[in-house]
């Protein structure tokens, strides 16, 4: 008598597909082996233990013993298999040494097979959707009916299951397809406001598996004016930081966005990623002066204005529409303050270096006539050349120059040290800064000369700033000081990439881009560093004034572009396409 059971074709086919899935899972698990004494050592045993558990209930009990008593458990284990293995995938690469590109490729291919077949196979196993599948089983599964406390417990389990399923699905979805991104700052006003929620497309921007270079190709063609989300290049992007970012994102999702681990040494949340606009393209050399961006290429050695950039660059927030102004948190300049800025830049553009040369020599001559040496006062030595020091210590400097040994000599040298390089050929940015340096010297020289006259007349120091002429002079000096210290690096940018040592132009490399925020006075972007350094206003002047600069322009490779904002969903008043 033949007791061999005849199963349905659907069952035999499903068993073959499931065995194929497990074959891929076995390969994946073997690739998780690590021999390093770090966190990567956990990947293989965790993956192997979960795979063994799933094998016992799904392959042995369901497909070979056809015991349907634990069918739901087997299904759930299989549904979570790709997600659990995804976590071990990250663990394996979170160690000190990572894995090779070849291992990553095979691991990713294996995982993708598991992901697809685990979903398809699990869907078909649900009872009683496909009763033909369970023909001639040893134990046919039955649909359980829960009552009382058991029903409550079952519903809780279903909710927990739904929660984790949604978390894992959202995790995979946001890595490879689309992600909801909250705008953290006002650097892109008026395009984005703080707390705007936008969907960011990632699938066409070459998303990669965490901690690897394996993923989808970059299909997107980037052009000037595109808004993009990018990794923040101001932070170190290495294996250690990538591990921290990936782990932080996992914890962030599992904690329902309540726990953020990606913080700096001071405990502040890291501003990563950023949303900016592409302003510079491969093959271009850029410079920005007085808020206008210029470009040149290998085909033209003349810098020309980038018209499209002026469409997006926002300098005067006061001129925005009344609909958006109430939602802006910070206005860097008032309407009148912005006009003062424009007037000052016009004054600098019209500043005549020939006239300044005459004034410098005349002030040096007159101060030499007024100064009175006091041998007991000591020897003059200027400790700093920072413009802030000159403005804040102008009275003490004037007294020291007036009476200390060497003061007159230093004053003459300081006022005229720029003159030998007056007629040098400079680019538009360097010429503007050269003029700023000379303007500050003229303001300082006139101030010192006025104070010297008052010293000569024995006028008390507390009355030095009372005259109308000195008040006007100090007002001009203060505007100059504020512009240099606060606005210079926001309003302008040196030639970038800078010329080589022989003076040959350099250009943004292929597949690299330069980005800025729209709200230029409130955007620390690829123009800037997060730390200030002391820089000279005029490198050709040996006694140039200096300022605390944030200027450090850089471009970024497109592999660090995360995605492109597509659609704004919140707030509802700004709902619509970006």
Predicted local distance difference test score (pLDDT) of residue 334? 94
Count the alpha carbons within 13 Å of 359 in the hemisphere toward its beta carbon. 17
Res 2 pLDDT > 60? no
User: pLDDT averaged over the chain?
Assistant: 90
Whether omega before 120 lies within 30 degrees of 0, making that bond cis, reads no
pLDDT tens figures, 199-233: 999 988 889 998 898 988 888 889 999 999 998 88
Are the C-beta atoms of 536 and 546 separated by less than 8 Å? Answer: yes
- Specify the higher pLDDT residue, 122 or 146: 122
Are the C-beta atoms of 374 and 404 separated by less than 8 Å? Answer: yes
pLDDT tens figures, 42-100: 999 999 999 999 999 999 999 999 998 889 899 999 999 999 999 999 899 988 888 99
Q: What residues contact 358, with CB distance under 8 A and at least 6 apart? A: none
Res 238 pLDDT > 90? no
Res 251 pLDDT > 90? no
Q: What residues contact 326, with CB distance under 8 A and at least 6 apart? A: none
- Other CB atoms within 10 A of residue 151 CB: 11
Among candidate residues 548, 515, 540, the one with its CA nearest the CA of residue 427? 540
Predicted local distance difference test score (pLDDT) of residue 242? 75
Among candidate residues 43, 26, 27, the one with its CA nearest the CA of residue 35? 43
Categorize the per-residue pLDDT at 244 as very low, low, confident or very high, splitting at 50, 70 and 90. confident
Predicted local distance difference test score (pLDDT) of residue 285? 98
Angle between helices 71-93 and 43-54 (to 10 degrees): 170
Predicted local distance difference test score (pLDDT) of residue 1? 42
| Mean pLDDT within 540-560 | 95
Among candidate residues 300, 307, 261, the one with its CA nearest the CA of residue 284? 300
Query: Rounded to an integer, what distance in angstroms lies between the CA atom of residue 147 and that of residue 342?
Result: 77
Angle between helices 428-456 and 394-403 (to 10 degrees): 60
Predicted local distance difference test score (pLDDT) of residue 266? 67
Alpha helical stretches, state H, 468-512: 468-482, 488-491
Predicted local distance difference test score (pLDDT) of residue 4? 62
If you average pLDDT over each of 267-276, 369-378, 451-460, which comes out highest? Answer: 451-460
Assessment of whether the complete model's pTM goes beyond 0.85: no
pLDDT tens figures, 375-421: 788 999 998 999 889 999 999 999 999 999 999 999 999 999 999 99
Instruction: Give Cα separations from 141 to 153, 294, 301 (angstroms).
Output: 20, 73, 78
**How much of the chain, in percent, has pLDDT values that exceed 90?**
66
Torsion angles phi and psi, residue 182, rounded to 5? -100, 130
Predicted local distance difference test score (pLDDT) of residue 235? 81
Predicted local distance difference test score (pLDDT) of residue 256? 56
**Cross-strand bridge partners of residue 576:** 568
- Specify the higher pLDDT residue, 106 or 127: 106
Predicted local distance difference test score (pLDDT) of residue 264? 65
pLDDT tens figures, 413-431: 999 999 999 999 999 999 9
Query: Rounded to an integer, what distance in angstroms lies between the CA atom of residue 450 and that of residue 453?
Result: 5
Query: Rounded to an integer, what distance in angstroms lies between the CA atom of residue 57 and that of residue 45?
Result: 19
Res 514 pLDDT > 90? yes
**Cross-strand bridge partners of residue 461:** none
Res 538 pLDDT > 90? yes
Query: Rounded to an integer, what distance in angstroms lies between the CA atom of residue 489 and that of residue 401?
Result: 31
DSSP 32-81: T---SSSGGGGHHHHHHHHHHHHIIIIIIIIIIS-BGGGHHHHHHHHHHH
Angle between helices 71-93 and 101-125 (to 10 degrees): 170
Res 257 pLDDT > 60? no
């Amino acid at each position: 008598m033949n007791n061999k059971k005849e199963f349905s074709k659907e069952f035999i086919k499903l068993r073959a597909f499931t065995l194929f899935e497990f074959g891929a899972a076995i390969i994946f698990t073997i690739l998780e082996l690590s021999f390093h004494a770090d966190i990567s050592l956990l990947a293989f045993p965790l993956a192997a233990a979960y795979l063994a558990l799933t094998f016992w209930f799904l392959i042995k009990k369901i497909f070979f013993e056809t015991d349907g008593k634990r069918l739901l458990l087997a299904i759930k284990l299989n549904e979570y298999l790709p997600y659990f293995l995804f976590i071990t995938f990250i663990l394996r690469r979170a160690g000190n040494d990572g894995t090779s590109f070849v291992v990553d490729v095979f691991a990713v291919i294996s995982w993708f097979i598991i992901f697809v077949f685990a979903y398809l196979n699990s869907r078909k196993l649900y009872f009683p959707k496909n009763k033909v599948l369970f023909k001639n089983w040893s134990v046919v599964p039955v649909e359980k009916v829960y009552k009382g406390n058991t029903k409550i417990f079952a519903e809780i389990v279903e909710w927990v299951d739904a929660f984790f399923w949604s978390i894992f699905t959202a995790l995979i979805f946001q890595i490879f397809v689309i992600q909801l991104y909250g705008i953290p700052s006002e650097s892109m006003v008026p395009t984005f406001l703080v707390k705007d929620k936008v969907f960011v497309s990632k699938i066409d921007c070459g998303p990669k598996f965490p901690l690897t270079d394996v993923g989808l190709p970059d299909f997107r063609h980037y052009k000037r004016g595109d808004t993009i989300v990018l990794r923040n290049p101001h932070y170190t992007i290495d294996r250690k930081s990538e591990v921290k970012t990936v782990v932080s994102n996992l914890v962030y999702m599992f904690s329902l966005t309540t726990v953020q681990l990606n913080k700096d040494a001071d405990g502040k949340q890291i501003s990563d990623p950023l949303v900016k606009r592409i302003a510079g393209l491969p093959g271009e050399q850029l410079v920005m002066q007085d808020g206008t961006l210029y470009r040149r290429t290998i085909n033209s050695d003349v810098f020309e204005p980038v018209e499209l950039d002026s469409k997006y660059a926002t300098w005067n927030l006061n001129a925005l529409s009344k609909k958006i102004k109430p939602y802006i948190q910070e206005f860097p300049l008032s309407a009148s303050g912005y006009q003062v800025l424009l007037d000052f830049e016009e004054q600098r553009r019209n500043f005549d270096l020939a006239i300044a040369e005459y004034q410098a020599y005349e002030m040096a001559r007159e101060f030499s006539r007024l100064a009175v040496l006091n041998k007991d006062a000591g020897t003059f030595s200027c400790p700093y050349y920072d413009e802030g020091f000159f403005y804040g210590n102008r009275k003490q400097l004037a007294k020291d120059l007036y009476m200390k040994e060497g003061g007159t000599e230093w004053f003459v040298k300081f006022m005229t040290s720029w003159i030998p390089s007056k007629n040098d050929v400079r680019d538009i940015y360097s010429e503007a800064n050269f003029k700023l340096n000379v303007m500050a010297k003229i303001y300082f020289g006139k101030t010192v000369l006025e104070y010297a006259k008052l010293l000569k007349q024995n006028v008390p120091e507390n009355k030095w700033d009372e005259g109308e002429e000195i008040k006007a002079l100090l007002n001009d000096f203060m505007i100059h000081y504020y512009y240099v210290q606060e606005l210079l690096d926001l309003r302008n940018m040196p030639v970038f990439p800078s010329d080589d040592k022989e003076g040959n132009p350099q250009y943004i490399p292929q597949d690299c881009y330069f980005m800025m925020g729209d709200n230029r006075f409130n955007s620390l972007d690829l123009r800037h560093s997060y730390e200030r350094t002391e820089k000279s206003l005029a490198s050709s002047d040996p006694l140039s004034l200096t300022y605390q600069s944030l200027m450090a322009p850089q471009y970024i490779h497109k592999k660090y572009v995360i995605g492109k904002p597509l659609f704004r969903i919140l707030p509802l008043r700004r709902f619509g396409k970006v």
